[in-house]
Structure 1
């Protein structure tokens, strides 16, 4: 089930997001950044702030036992919807949770009158870029040098990485 996350979910979301991106746990899935970035992806205090501020919406995918298995951050930046912090538990990847969250985001964008969804992805994450392409996202040609956002998403372990922007146009009816 996909629902809106609350401040009470911050601790579980923090564990999930960091497990999906960093450390040994992340290596059990295909979305790991452990060889690219060190440090935390996010912390509980930052998540609580994001949930309290309400600038964006954090949604969660819960399993039958009510455990959070996936999450995504959605922020309306008209005319686009920004999609970020997309994470699925490493042990639950390749089970359709990511596709369900992406579909939810697309419905959310349309419901809010957005004409596209934008996201950023690390330039050397070819398998992830290919996954987004298979779902209709295309590179825009815009990018952000990683040193321009130093410390925001972790500490680079490799040189010359950047965040590339991708987008998908939405058919508004």
Structure 2
């Protein structure tokens, strides 16, 4: 799958897509944070901050027929060849089509080509089906977790008091 690097002019569309995918009007299921967190997942300002000075790269998946944005993912280099993958989102209209798997594979290729030896993600602890989806893609729980950032207004309004972030990693080696 061909992924494109997001530019400033793409950020409004990316914010709309991510907010619909994570916290849209759809019923709660394994693909959303609906029922866990309320409010927007991101906004243009936060996305611009992510890509400023190359701190993160947001990759876009476009529908080949229409050219419309259908998915995205963000990657950030860490230390020692590890990269952080976040914000994997697929348009609610394209979910279940295999697009998420294709975006993930493209993101891993991008990180590997940039020198990554592994990829790290954080997932909300109660999202068991999402964690299992990542595990089927080769990610493994590290045993590490961190408290959910309840006091950070940028993450939305948590609707539960038992949230934490679980860390998973995947080797990108041969």
TM-score under structure 2 normalisation? 0.91
Distance in 2 between the 1:132 and 1:124 partners?
14
Q: Which residue, 135, 160, 163 being the options, matches 2:162?
A: 160
RMSD: 1.7
Contact 2:83 2:116 in 1 (8 A): yes
Q: How far did residue 71 of structure 1 move?
A: 0.3
- What is the match of residue 68 of structure 1? 69
Q: C-alpha deviations, 1:86-144, integer Å up to 9, x for none?
A: 11011101112111111112112221222210000000001100000000001111111
Contact 2:59 2:107 in 1 (8 A): no
Question: Is 1:31 aligned with 2:31?
Answer: yes
Contact 1:7 1:52 in 2 (8 A): no
Contact 2:118 2:172 in 1 (8 A): yes
Runs of 4+ in 1 over 6 A off after TM superposition: none
Q: How far did residue 30 of structure 1 move?
A: 4.2
SS of residue paired to 2:75 = strand
Contact 1:28 1:91 in 2 (8 A): no
Q: How far did residue 43 of structure 1 move?
A: 0.9
Q: How far did residue 51 of structure 1 move?
A: 3.0
Distance in 1 between the 2:84 and 2:31 partners?
20
List gaps (5 residues or longer) in structure 2: none
TM-score under structure 1 normalisation? 0.91
Q: C-alpha deviations, 1:129-168, integer Å up to 9, x for none?
A: 0000000001111111114663232211012110101000
Distance in 1 between the 2:156 and 2:168 partners?
21
